[in-house]
Amino acid sequence: MTMVELKNVSRVYLGQSGPVYGLSGFDLRIAEGEFVCIVGPSGCGKTTLLNIVAGFEPPDLGEVLIDGDKIAGPGTNRFVMFQEHALFPWLNVSQNIMFGLKMAGIPKREREERTAALLKTVNLSDFSTAWIHELSGGMKQRVALARALIMDPEILLMDEPFGALDSQTRDMLHEEVELVWQRTRKTILFVTHNVREAVRLGTRVILMTAKGGKILREYPIALPRNRFLEDVEVVKIASQIRDDLRHEVLRAAKEEGYHVD
Amino acid sequence: MSIEQEEQSDIAKVRFFAQGYHVWRGRAARLGFFVLLIGVWQVAASLELWNEVLFPHPKEVADAVVLGMRDGTLPQAIEASMRRLCMGYGISLLIGIPLGLLLGRKRLLDDTVGSLAVGLQALPSICWLPMAVLWFGLSETAMQFVIIMGSLMSITLAVRDGVKTIPTLYLRAAGILGATGWRFYWYVLLPASLPAIITGAKLGWSFAWRSLMAAELLYVTSGIGSTLMMGRELHNMALVVAAMILIITIGLLTDRLIFRFGESFIHRRWGFGGRD
């Protein structure tokens, strides 16, 4: 059963030297419970793809279907974890986590119970009344994860959420995302520039073209879970993807007339 | 406590006192400077280089303040001015903040009403006085009108600019968290704009204060500005200086008592801006 379906989606931006294709004729089907990672060179349209599925940007052509229904704008069945944390500085940690429930009119008692449970999940119980600027980068992303999980969306969209973190913190957050996915089997669309991260987490990795916003190749990842970044198999597949990525970048550079050794 | 712990706690104590020392040294320096300034004034006045009527002694100014406070003229003047100010400035805040929030969100409104506000901002508020007197007569309403015209635009425009610089990320997060309609304005836009609202309120306050003083100077009535003008007419320079010092003091006190409170609130939550 297909959960998310992109049909012939195109999105064009006006660049300084003519049109730039964020996506063009993009087709993708993501089944329920899949963990799809999108990788590609910077400027390849990964974030455009995520923004369109989130409903932040409308596609110029084509359509996005969720369970067969065409989307029109953002909805509560999808939740986005941004590159930067996007937590509200005027609210403390637990107020941030329960904000969505408050908007949905959930009674205070229930809000607080669910928030306390999630704070425990992301190991932040001691920080429930801290202000956002008092937290480290990793703690902020954990709050952001808790805020996403409390909304219990069908689809989790993640836009390089761990790109700005140090490697130890990132390892810990990989564990947490892994746990969440194994427990809830939410459909996840995860954008990253880190190929090994994609192989470590994904059930499928999609490599995009450098220009033109298309899929270059897909790699089903059938390795057993839980995986680690250092696993030989993970490294092997990642290096293959990285080779393909390097060729793609060189090809695109040559096409533009750069001389590359 | 082990020896290391004791040493550490000693170090912490020294740091704590060092911080206090900086604060107190700053205060002492400030106090010393102003005492010195008054001393120089005292010496200059004693030399009798200028006519006593034109250059009053510090003691005469102090006497004028004490006398004015005793006979009730100064408290009355302060009360009259503050009442006008609170009414006019309060109305400016009540209109300016929501209007600024709307202008920051609604393009069409900003292109029309927003550009009108920018235009009116260029007009010094005292230029409204002749019109206000014709419309409202020699009344409190006329004064309040001048204060509103003086502060409303700056509040509105500061809030509008603040709304426009809210990170897109917050707005997108608000959307997916289900904050729509009035909830969006109340729970997201208003708190996200708080730093800008405090800046705007502060700016608006200083414009309101200036507008009021200008209006009271030009238009004989009660109030601190009128006290200043009365001093001129009576050739009572001590009263003129006393009124000026009073105007400065009220301005400073408001900044310290009201706006610092707001700024430290922002500082605590956002972790930037404000003063420590």
Q: Which of A97, A84, A165 is nearest to A125 (CA)?
A: A97
Is the Cβ–Cβ distance between A167 and A200 less than 8 Å? no
Please tell me the predicted confidence (pLDDT) of residue A130: 94
**Closest alpha carbon within chain A to B193:** A90
Residues B220, B134 within the same domain: yes
> Which residue's structure tokens are 């599925």?
A53
Please tell me the predicted confidence (pLDDT) of residue B274: 40
CA atoms within 13 A on the CB side of A44: 22
Does B196 have pLDDT greater than 90?
yes
Please tell me the predicted confidence (pLDDT) of residue B273: 53
Please tell me the predicted confidence (pLDDT) of residue A2: 64
* Among A90, A111, A132, A136, the residue to mutate for chain B (most B Cβ within 10 A): A90
Residues B44, B68 within the same domain: no
| Closest Cα in chain B, distance from residue A76 (Å) | 6
* Minimum mean pLDDT range among A20-29, B19-28, B200-209: B19-28
**Closest alpha carbon within chain A to B173:** A86
CATH number of residue B265's parent domain = 1.10.3720.10
Contact A133 B179 (CB under 8 A): no
**Closest alpha carbon within chain A to B171:** A86
Residues B25, B137 within the same domain: no
The β-bridge partners of A13 are A20
Beta strands A2-15 and A61-66, pairing class: antiparallel
Residues B179, B252 within the same domain: yes
Residues B62, B41 within the same domain: no
Q: Tell me what percent of the residues of chain A surpass a pLDDT of 70.
A: 98
pLDDT band (50, 70, 90) for residue A258:
low
Residues B39, B133 within the same domain: no
Q: Residue B259 domain-assigned? A: yes
Please tell me the predicted confidence (pLDDT) of residue B276: 37
| Closest Cα in chain B, distance from residue A168 (Å) | 26
Of A78, A90, A134, the CB nearest to B192: A90
**Cβ neighbours of B172 in A, within 8 Å:** 54, 56, 74, 80, 82, 86
Q: Residue B36 domain-assigned? A: yes
pLDDT band (50, 70, 90) for residue B252:
confident
Asked if residue A96 has a cis previous peptide bond (ω within 30° of 0), the answer is no
Contact A88 B191 (CB under 8 A): yes
Which of the listed ranges A69-73, B48-52, B115-119, B269-273 does the model predict with the highest average pLDDT?
B115-119
**Closest alpha carbon within chain B to A79:** B176
Q: Over chain B, what is the mean pLDDT?
A: 89
**Cβ neighbours of B188 in A, within 8 Å:** 88
C-alpha distances (whole Å) from A211 to each of A16, A31, B129, B204 are: 15, 26, 63, 51
Assess A76–B contact: CB distance below 8 Å, yes or no. yes
Of B172, B178, B271, the CB nearest to A133: B271
Please tell me the predicted confidence (pLDDT) of residue A218: 93
Contact A79 B268 (CB under 8 A): no
Please tell me the predicted confidence (pLDDT) of residue B211: 93
Residue range B119-135: average pLDDT?
A: 92
Residues B81, B211 within the same domain: yes
Please tell me the predicted confidence (pLDDT) of residue A261: 52
Assess A72–B contact: CB distance below 8 Å, yes or no. no
Count of domains for chain B: 2
**Cβ neighbours of B191 in A, within 8 Å:** 88, 90-91
Q: Which residue did the predictor score with more confidence, A2 or B253?
A: B253
Residue range B20-46: average pLDDT?
A: 90
Contact A133 B269 (CB under 8 A): yes
Mind listing the pLDDT tens digit for each residue in A124-149? 999 999 999 999 988 999 999 999 99
Residue range A193-211: average pLDDT?
A: 93
Continuous H helices in chain B? 3-46, 58-70, 73-105, 107-109, 115-121, 129-136, 140-164, 168-176, 182-183, 190-192, 194-218, 224-233, 237-254, 260-270
Q: Residue B238 domain-assigned? A: yes
Q: Residue B224 domain-assigned? A: yes
Residues B40, B119 within the same domain: no
* CA–CA distance, A221 with A223 (Å, rounded to integer): 6
Q: Tell me what percent of the residues of chain B surpass a pLDDT of 70.
A: 98
Determine which helix (DSSP H) or strand (DSSP E) holds A27, and give its type and residue range: strand A18-31
**Closest alpha carbon within chain A to B186:** A103
> Which residue's structure tokens are 């990285």?
A242
Of B176, B191, B271, the CB nearest to A74: B176
Q: Where are the domains of chain A?
A: 218-255
Number of CB pairs, chain A paired with chain B, less than 8 A apart: 64
Contact A89 B269 (CB under 8 A): yes
Does A254 have pLDDT greater than 90?
no
Contact B169 A86 (CB under 8 A): yes
Mind listing the pLDDT tens digit for each residue in B143-184? 999 999 999 999 999 999 999 999 999 999 998 999 989 999
**Stated pTM of the model:** 0.81
**Crossing angle of helices B224-233/B73-105, nearest 10°?**
130
- Alpha carbon of residue A238 to chain centroid: 18
**Closest alpha carbon within chain A to B175:** A74
Q: Residue B113 domain-assigned? A: yes
What is the predicted ipTM?
Answer: 0.84
Please tell me the predicted confidence (pLDDT) of residue B1: 60
Q: Tell me what percent of the residues of chain A surpass a pLDDT of 90.
A: 63
Mind listing the pLDDT tens digit for each residue in A25-39? 899 999 999 999 999
Mind listing the pLDDT tens digit for each residue in A155-164? 999 999 888 8
Contact B172 A82 (CB under 8 A): yes
| Closest Cα in chain A, distance from residue B270 (Å) | 5
Q: Residue B276 domain-assigned? A: no
Q: Residue B103 domain-assigned? A: yes
Residue range A73-82: average pLDDT?
A: 88
Count of C-beta atoms within a 10 Å radius of residue A137: 15
Residue range A183-188: average pLDDT?
A: 92
**Cβ neighbours of A99 in B, within 8 Å:** 177, 179, 187
Mind listing the pLDDT tens digit for each residue in A40-61? 888 888 889 999 999 999 999 9
Contact B187 A54 (CB under 8 A): no
Parent domain of B21: 1-49
> Cα–Cα–Cα angle for A244, A156, B105, nearest 5°?
110
pLDDT band (50, 70, 90) for residue A16:
confident
Residues of B with CB under 8 A from a CB of A: 167, 169-170, 172-173, 175-179, 183, 187-188, 191-192, 194, 268-272
Of A56, A89, A132, the CB nearest to B172: A56
